[in-house]
Amino acid sequence: MGWISGTLPQLAPDQDQLTWFLSKRASVVIDTWFASKKFAVLEPVSPALTGCIVISRGAVEHCRDHRALEGVGQPAVFELLDRLFVTGTPAYAPNTSRGQLGTGYPNQLAMFDATYKALDPTAMGETPVGILQHVGAPFVHLKLVTAYWTKPASATLLRNGVLKK
């Protein structure tokens, strides 16, 4: 939690990150989707030969700061990241957001836990979502771009687009 809150000292800028290994099932589903989109598949970097998500302190701070601007408290951000990366059961769907430029994000996935609704009063009843981007160097992996709580209607859209084996 100290790494998320920023109370632990920062490591060197190029080392201030965590690596979170995907499950075998998630790695297969994601690799199948990437291959169908003509992207390189994730490199098998875990002991179980699965891909990974790199979580930088910068991405966590971005998430924490932007949620605070929306009136979401820091405990809700802890709850959000916990559900995505520690205690949750994430699913994955293409990021269908069109973005500010209207061009979309063809190399991004939404990681979400549709079985969970926020308990913190500042995000009550919303679903945790993380946005992951395909990165090709120095090895093929996903990186966390941001994470947020989403309304039930948006969570339904994610459930309808879930990647399947």
The tens digit of pLDDT for each residue in 106-132 reads: 899 999 999 999 999 999 999 999 999
Total domains, the chain: 1
Residue 11 lies in a domain: no
- Which residues form the domain of 53? 2-6+16-160
CA distance 99 to 32: 25
Of 126, 124, 137, 44, the residue nearest 84 (C-alpha): 126
Q: Phi/psi of residue 112, each to 5°? A: -150, 160
pLDDT at 15: 58
Strand partners, 91: 112
| pLDDT at residue 7 greater than cutoff 70 | no
Residue 165 lies in a domain: no
Residue 135 lies in a domain: yes
Residue 76 lies in a domain: yes
pTM of the predicted structure, to 2 decimals = 0.89
Please state, for a pLDDT cut of 70, what percent of the chain lies above it: 88
Question: Given the structure tokens 């080392």, which residue do they identify?
Answer: 15
